[in-house]
Structure 1
Amino acid sequence: MTLLGRLLNNRRAGEAHTAWNLPNLQGPALLTLTSRHFAHGEAMPPRHAAKNVGGGNLSPHLTWTAPAPGTAQLLLVVEDTDVPLPRPAVHCVALVDPASGDLGPGALDARRPAAGVRVLRSTIGRGYHGPAPVKGHGPHRYTFQLFALAATVDGALGAETADRTRPRALLGGITAPVLARGRLTGTYER
């Protein structure tokens, strides 16, 4: 696998197609998103990596500043911007109750999400999927993006539709105004 990583070294999705850069998810960057497990731009601990690379697939602790008044729902999107594909890989999409204030470790588990959390489809499946970059490909950036929406996603798409929709279609179909947003990036390398 190391050879494959080296061969793909110059192929990276980049940030142009991240949720952060979608025209319908633009808004003021007023939320400060942090984790007690890693700082912005630093390496994520192995326990947050995927099980197939020796990690625990445990979603990290996340906390944020109070969302803007009028926030109906928070949308959390986790993307790998360095995957050797045309677009970033979506590792998690979740809807979060704005009253939550934070998510504890493991809160994004598909089978047992925390109270106030609803996990949706990602590129890989449902729930949090930790880093598992190709060995030898170099460091990958995993961007946790939080959007404070003025209306619920279900209001625009319907609950059943939101649960079944592929992540790119879901993100592109959100019509609620973004009142605030913030992001946190961790890295992981094999």
Structure 2
Amino acid sequence: MTLERPIAPDPYELLPTVPSFDLTSEDVHNGEPMDARYAHGSTGGENVSPQLSWSGFPAETGSFVVTCFDPDAPTGSGFWHWVLVNVPASVTELPSGVREDDLGGAFSVRNDYGETGYGGAAPPAGDRPHRYVFAVHAVDVDRLDIPAGASPAFVGFNLAFHTLARAVIRPTYQIKE
């Protein structure tokens, strides 16, 4: 059974416009279905974060924030799957299944599963394909002053004042009934 509701807006279309740069992935692609490997374990997936790499960001970038958001989740507020903050500016690629310990002080805040780290796709069975908005935000400071227990909304609020540019990939995922 498909949940009938309007298509949610892309979250970045609602924010002030910033320049873009290049974001690519060996694992996920714009508008294409993701492999179950990147889905949450509760759906039979492997809960592995996809490989991401980026280039062409502003020279004055001090650090990056990597996020994954599902605007199509039937919650009224979407669903945050990943918010990785304070990725050093020297890091321009995350391997599939990245370990935060390898990222020079970067850390994830709690996702909407209530866990830290990447939480894979898990749309309701039978719902239409959901968009998973993977974004890399080029930030104008070396570190955002974000406490480990912060919410994704708190990180987003801080990003509003520090984002120099943003790159996005929007794969989809669907669980058939």
Q: TM-score, normalised by structure 1?
A: 0.81
In 2, Cα distance between equivalents of 1:79 and 1:62: 15
Unaligned runs of 5+ in 1: none
1:11-26 paired onto structure 2 within 5 Å: 14-15=8-9, 18=11, 21-23=14-16, 26=17
Q: Which runs of 4+ in 1 moved over 4 A?
A: none
In 1, Cα distance between equivalents of 2:157 and 2:5: 27
Letter in 2 for 1:21: L
1:109-128 paired onto structure 2 within 5 Å: 113-116=101-104, 117-124=106-113, 125-128=115-118
RMSD of aligned alpha carbons: 2.0
In 1, Cα distance between equivalents of 2:156 and 2:143: 10
CA drift of 1:27 comes to: 1.3
* Residues 40 and 185, structure 1, Cα contact 8 Å, conserved in 2: yes
Unaligned runs of 5+ in 2: none
In 2, Cα distance between equivalents of 1:146 and 1:83: 21
CA drift of 1:36 comes to: 0.4
Q: TM-score, normalised by structure 2?
A: 0.87
1:15-164 paired onto structure 2 within 5 Å: 15=9, 18=11, 21-23=14-16, 26-29=17-20, 31-95=21-85, 96-107=87-98, 113-116=101-104, 117-124=106-113, 125-154=115-144, 158-159=145-146, 161=147, 163-164=148-149
CA drift of 1:66 comes to: 3.7
Q: Please give the secondary structure, in 1, of the residue aligned with 2:171.
A: strand
Letter in 2 for 1:22: L
Which of 129, 151, 156 is the matching residue for 1:166? 151
CA drift of 1:10 comes to: 1.7
* Residues 88 and 142, structure 2, Cα contact 8 Å, conserved in 1: no
* Residues 143 and 185, structure 1, Cα contact 8 Å, conserved in 2: yes
In 2, Cα distance between equivalents of 1:20 and 1:11: 16
Distance 1:22-1:85 versus aligned 2 partners, 3 A rule? same
Letter in 2 for 1:148: A
Q: Give the aligned length.
A: 172
The alignment-based identity, stated in percent, is: 28
